[in-house]
Amino acid sequence: MVRRQPKLFQNGDVLDIGANIGYTSAVFAGALKPDSKVYAFEPDQLSYGLLEEVIRRKKLSGAIEAINIGWAIPMATLSFGTTRSIRPTTAL
């Protein structure tokens, strides 16, 4: 995405929702202007710990802010334009 759509990273910040261990956050951080930031949201404690470690090891603390939180709509029904509906099995 960074190579194909560089204009997406030219103005403003990036939200990485479900950042996991930070691979995509690190790639996005490398494409941003110095005054922009990646906000990396990761609700899973183990993945969040690894995300913080990646940020520290790659010296990206000025470019990525890790946030240990997640969102969900409990017991929602999601319709995707098909005859099937999907109900989430977990909610945070």
- Rounded CA-CA distance 28/24 in Å is 6
- Terminal Cα-to-Cα distance of the chain (whole angstroms): 29
pLDDT at residue 59 is higher than 60: yes
How does residue 92 score in pLDDT terms, banded at 50, 70 and 90? very low
Fold of 6-86: Rossmann fold (3.40.50)
- Rounded CA-CA distance 37/1 in Å is 17
Percent of the chain residues past pLDDT 70, beyond the cut: 79
Q: What is the pTM of this model?
A: 0.75
**Averaged pLDDT, 44-65:** 97
Residue 42 has a pLDDT of 96
Residue 70 has a pLDDT of 83
Residue 11 has a pLDDT of 85
